[in-house]
Amino acid sequence: MTAGGHGTDGVERRGLMFVLSSPSGAGKTTLSRLLIERMTGLRMSVSATTRAMRPGEVDGRDYLFVDKARFDAMVKGDELLEWATVFDNSYGTPRAPVEAALSAGQDVLFDIDWQGTQQLREKARADVVSVFILPPSAADLEKRLHSRAQDSDEVIRKRMSRASHEMSHWAEYDYIVINHAVDEAFAEVQSILKAERLKRERRTGLVGFVRGLQGQLQG
Ligand SMILES: Nc1ncnc2c1ncn2[C@@H]1O[C@H](COP(=O)(O)OP(=O)(O)OP(=O)(O)O)[C@@H](O)[C@H]1O
Ligand SMILES: Nc1nc2c(ncn2[C@@H]2O[C@H](COP(=O)(O)O)[C@@H](O)[C@H]2O)c(=O)[nH]1
């Protein structure tokens, strides 16, 4: 699925799919925004969803807000790379923008749940790097959901009651980050991405690069 782009050192490599998952409110959106702001060569995958827009959200930036009929048509038309039902709403990743970004040599960032991550892994295991974000405590998680001030008490109760189940999938992920302070959690997630970009297996240009160096040495 992935085509070559150039790393910051000029050596060609395959793009990667960088996935953040967590129980609702642990900080995926916060960390994703920082990654997009501060890391070059990284594009956010904008999901389609049937859930209602929150105050401050923008259609096409935060999500593609669609009705159930449109979502079902996207599933039927194979327009989604993965999709799942989360908290009674449908969410899915539009395939075309992801494939276009990877083909242009960009990495793609996903804020999706464990079901979507499993589907991506089944499709492209070698190109998926997954990070599970944990809150420092249940009390912090609840406080964060309230402090976001965008969901009703009932919605927050539902999300808290699902948190334990969401978290039960932590061991399926490549990395675990505990989000105590945003700056520290961001630095950890950023380090993971930087290291994964340097992995030998995805650096398709290394053979040619090393041959070139050897040629210079022999030359
Ligand atoms: N380390 C932190 N300390 C304190 N507050 C935080 C921290 N990280 C995130 N928050 C706050 O917690 C709230 C929830 O964070 P965020 O929206 O990023 O979570 P999320 O995992 O994306 O949730 P969802 O799955 O529901 O989209 C936000 O108000 C955010 O500002
Ligand atoms: N499998 C997928 N899960 C997704 C996708 N987009 C978002 N999500 C997850 O849904 C919950 C709730 O998100 P919210 O914005 O309503 O708080 C959260 O865990 C997201 O990660 C998707 O395309 N596929």
Question: How many structural domains are present in the chain?
Answer: 1
Mean pLDDT within 54-77: 96
Q: What is the pLDDT of residues 14-37, one digit of tens each?
A: 999 999 999 999 999 999 999 999
Range of the domain at 153: 4-202
Mean pLDDT within 185-197: 98
Is 190:38 a contact under the CB 8 Å cutoff?
yes
Mean pLDDT within 168-172: 97
CB of 86 within 6 A of ligand 2: the answer is yes
Identify the residue whose C-alpha is closest to ligand 1 atom 28: 148
Confidence of residue 219 (pLDDT cuts 50, 70, 90): confident
Cα 163 to averaged position of ligand 1 atoms, centre (Å) = 14
Assess if residue 115 is contained within a domain: yes
Assess if residue 125 is contained within a domain: yes
Assess if residue 210 is contained within a domain: no
CB of 84 within 6 A of ligand 2: the answer is yes
- Collapsing DSSP states into helix, strand and coil, what is residue 172? helix
Per-residue pLDDT at 9: 81
Assess if residue 42 is contained within a domain: yes
**4-13, 42-51, 130-139, 172-181, range with the lowest pLDDT:** 4-13
Interatomic CA distance for residues 183 and 34, integer angstroms: 9
CB of 132 within 6 A of ligand 2: the answer is no
Assess if residue 181 is contained within a domain: yes
Residue 16, C-beta contacts closer than 8 angstroms, at least 6 positions apart: 2, 107, 108, 127, 128, 129, 196, 197, 202
Assess if residue 33 is contained within a domain: yes
pTM: 0.95
Assess if residue 97 is contained within a domain: yes
Assess if residue 149 is contained within a domain: yes
Is 93:45 a contact under the CB 8 Å cutoff?
yes
What's the CATH code of the domain at 11? Answer: 3.40.50.300
Per-residue pLDDT at 148: 83
Interatomic CA distance for residues 185 and 162, integer angstroms: 23
- Collapsing DSSP states into helix, strand and coil, what is residue 13? strand
CB of 29 within 6 A of ligand 2: the answer is no
